[in-house]
A and B are shown apart, each in its own frame.
Chain A
């Protein structure tokens, strides 16, 4: 039932603006795949091309091995969940869910039975005869999912459907969406600009910028081994150092900066000019004495208590601010503001990466 999707050299131009630039992705059947990127990066255009509302300027789109370019949205085995859900306000919940079946000529009793079944699946029994305006945000969300599932799509496309919900509900719906995806086995393609959502739900994430895919990988890999500065900065926070690479050898290199020479991993694409050193705040340690390597003396300038972790800012020589996050295990010692300390990082946790997007 679920199908894989292949995008081959897909290009989409709107006039002189290139929204999607030579995208190549292969999404496996039954996978939860997210396109993550800032607004205007082309992720919604990709979704609209898969569903058929926008035609690619060039390239091939295959769903389950079949080239679908030129097919109308009502001919494709996809179901799209819109950002504003687009429930039909003049129809009841049951009629909304059964709309796709009505279109296919399924008789009334069967439609109703299927709608009730789907309402069970999305955990919303008893709402069948209500109108969408009588439902809460989370309930509408479930109806939209049920409506899309009713047509038994091979691929579900979700266009930031959680963005209108409040934080608590959003986190709850994440787990819910993931569970529904596992239960139905349908391929989910999820569009979001929220890195937390993408990392928490997806099997794989494709990070996009300016119409290009920067990196496709599983969430861990995206977070721990970003391929370039764009991915590193878009997904998570960083301490960023400017400098030059010296002595590259077997994946590691030394990196000369105004704050000293550090040793760190050398990213695959980090050749030539325009590379920077990226270190995550939670991989940055703080100590009163200098560490063996990669250590920077700082003056503590700000401490902010975040609950599960404590964020500490330190000013290094030349005014550069570094951030370290330490886990709050209940006994963590927090240096006083104004005191002197050292911030350091493990060479395996620092990455030398191209500082911007990769042109490829």
Chain B
């Protein structure tokens, strides 16, 4: 602080601190506290607000257990509350997206960090970045067009005689998964790329010299070294996917429902912000718990990720 004042003067330093404080307090902390507080209050007509019925309870949170439907899990039928079903499907498909991102990003990251000619790496990274210049909405719509039943992807596959009749891509969660992988893969790629870049190439060569096969070099040398990068990529992709609203809304089908869409329906269709807040905090807390659990299983510390 002393340092900042000496360098920029009291006025400018004060302004910067105030702006940061305003951003944190007014745009992050207070809205969240307000939502958190209202998530414990019932949704009441305006005249009854603050009245005798306006008391704190966890009723909004318990609404996830309402309205069971029949769901088959591993061939057996269960009655599962519809919102809980949506929640678990969201988690399940977010995990799938995370794994798919890892499987796709790891080889690319390794190629960029260790195999590609260092001179061409900036160009390749730029090419990876360019799509980010386009808004997420437009990119999701682009996939909606590409994946359409009579869209370019099907006509390409048909013209190459790879398929005999068009594939219905936008069905169930299929298109949502494709869209999410496409949207968030760079959040996986860059942490892994950074981690692998910091690996001394001599270690790879030393392992090979000692007789290790390519697979073993990756398993024993490259993967353990890049674990923090993989972990931070996985956390980002998982959290962003589970919290994504845009892609599931645009690329979803009649049989797909993302938990964020349920929150949005509480908020915009039912106009019940209280329950919507409760659901939003459920998603946040349970995802955080899930991520912590996975990190504990893989023995990743928070400090590894923050690097």
Q: Which one of B82-90, B150-158, B213-221, B263-271 is at the interface?
A: B213-221
* A141 to B211 alpha-carbon distance, docked (Å): 20
Collect the chain A residues with CB atoms within 8 Å of residue B136's CB. none
The answer to whether A74 touches B206, judged by C-beta atoms less than 8 angstroms apart, is no
Collect the chain A residues with CB atoms within 8 Å of residue B224's CB. 90
Collect the chain A residues with CB atoms within 8 Å of residue B304's CB. none
Collect the chain A residues with CB atoms within 8 Å of residue B209's CB. 51-53, 73-74, 78-80
Say whether, besides A74-B213, A103-B213, A103-B216, A86 and B208 are in contact (CB < 8 Å).
no
Say whether, besides A86-B200, A88-B221, A90-B225, A79 and B205 are in contact (CB < 8 Å).
no
Decide yes or no whether B207 CB sits under 8 A from chain A.
yes
Please, which residue of chain A has its CB at the minimum distance from the CB of B205?
A53
The answer to whether A74 touches B211, judged by C-beta atoms less than 8 angstroms apart, is yes
* A78 to B205 alpha-carbon distance, docked (Å): 13
* A99 to B220 alpha-carbon distance, docked (Å): 9
Decide yes or no whether A72 CB sits under 8 A from chain B.
yes
Decide yes or no whether A168 CB sits under 8 A from chain B.
no
Select which of B203, B208, B225 is within 8 A of A72 by beta carbon. B208
Decide yes or no whether A84 CB sits under 8 A from chain B.
yes
Nearest CB of B to A14, in Å: 13
The answer to whether A82 touches B202, judged by C-beta atoms less than 8 angstroms apart, is yes
Decide yes or no whether A147 CB sits under 8 A from chain B.
yes
Nearest CB of A to B189, in Å: 23
Collect the chain B residues with CB atoms within 8 Å of residue A72's CB. 208
Please, which residue of chain B has its CB at the minimum distance from the CB of A81?
B206
Please, which residue of chain B has its CB at the minimum distance from the CB of A98?
B210
Interface string of B31-61 (1 = CB under 8 A from A): 0000000000000000000000000000000
Decide yes or no whether A151 CB sits under 8 A from chain B.
yes
The answer to whether B210 touches A82, judged by C-beta atoms less than 8 angstroms apart, is no
Collect the chain B residues with CB atoms within 8 Å of residue A99's CB. 207, 210, 212, 220
Select which of B200, B203, B210, B225 is within 8 A of A103 by beta carbon. B210
* A151 to B210 alpha-carbon distance, docked (Å): 7
* A84 to B213 alpha-carbon distance, docked (Å): 22
Please report which residues of chain B, range 259-291, place their CB below 8 angstroms from some CB of chain A when the two chains form the complex: none
Q: Looking at chain A's contact residues, is the secondary structure mostly helix, strand, loop, or mixed?
A: mixed
Say whether, besides A73-B205, A84-B200, A100 and B225 are in contact (CB < 8 Å).
no
* A254 to B161 alpha-carbon distance, docked (Å): 88
Nearest CB of B to A144, in Å: 9
Please, which residue of chain A has its CB at the minimum distance from the CB of B214?
A74
The answer to whether B225 touches A74, judged by C-beta atoms less than 8 angstroms apart, is no
Say whether, besides A74-B213, A88-B221, A90-B224, A82 and B206 are in contact (CB < 8 Å).
yes
Please report which residues of chain B, range 183-239, place their CB below 8 angstroms from some CB of chain A when the two chains form the complex: 200, 202-203, 205-213, 216, 220-221, 224-225
* A52 to B211 alpha-carbon distance, docked (Å): 12
Say whether, besides A86-B200, A90-B224, A90-B225, A104 and B211 are in contact (CB < 8 Å).
yes
Collect the chain B residues with CB atoms within 8 Å of residue A91's CB. 220
Collect the chain B residues with CB atoms within 8 Å of residue A147's CB. 210
Collect the chain B residues with CB atoms within 8 Å of residue A100's CB. 210-211
Select which of A86, A102, A150 is within 8 A of B206 by beta carbon. A86
Collect the chain A residues with CB atoms within 8 Å of residue B205's CB. 53, 73, 80, 82, 86
Collect the chain B residues with CB atoms within 8 Å of residue A86's CB. 200, 202-203, 205-206
* A84 to B202 alpha-carbon distance, docked (Å): 8
* A99 to B211 alpha-carbon distance, docked (Å): 9
* A101 to B206 alpha-carbon distance, docked (Å): 14
Nearest CB of A to B220, in Å: 7
Collect the chain B residues with CB atoms within 8 Å of residue A90's CB. 224-225
Interface string of A228-239 (1 = CB under 8 A from B): 000000000000
Please, which residue of chain A has its CB at the minimum distance from the CB of B212?
A103
Nearest CB of A to B218, in Å: 13
* A91 to B219 alpha-carbon distance, docked (Å): 13
Nearest CB of B to A164, in Å: 13
The answer to whether B208 touches A73, judged by C-beta atoms less than 8 angstroms apart, is yes
Please, which residue of chain B has its CB at the minimum distance from the CB of A83?
B202
Nearest CB of A to B79, in Å: 48
Collect the chain B residues with CB atoms within 8 Å of residue A151's CB. 210-211
Best-buried of B202, B210, B213, B224 by chain A (most CB within 10 Å): B210
* A72 to B211 alpha-carbon distance, docked (Å): 9
Collect the chain B residues with CB atoms within 8 Å of residue A82's CB. 202, 205-206
Interface string of A80-115 (1 = CB under 8 A from B): 101010101011000000011011100000000000
* A141 to B206 alpha-carbon distance, docked (Å): 14
* A74 to B204 alpha-carbon distance, docked (Å): 11
Nearest CB of A to B16, in Å: 39
Collect the chain B residues with CB atoms within 8 Å of residue A53's CB. 205, 209
By Cβ-Cβ distance, the 10 closest A-B pairs, closest first, are A86-B202, A100-B210, A86-B206, A103-B211, A74-B211, A82-B202, A103-B212, A80-B209, A73-B209, A73-B208
Known: A51-B209, A88-B207. 6 other contacts (CB 8 A): A80-B209, A86-B200, A99-B220, A104-B211, A148-B210, A151-B210
Please list 8 pairs of residues, one from A and one from B, whose beta carbons are closer than 8 Å in the complex, sorted by A's number: A73-B205, A74-B213, A79-B209, A82-B202, A86-B206, A90-B224, A103-B210, A103-B211
Interface residues of chain A, those whose CB is within 8 Å of chain B, are 51-53, 72-74, 78-80, 82, 84, 86, 88, 90-91, 99-100, 102-104, 147-148, 150-151
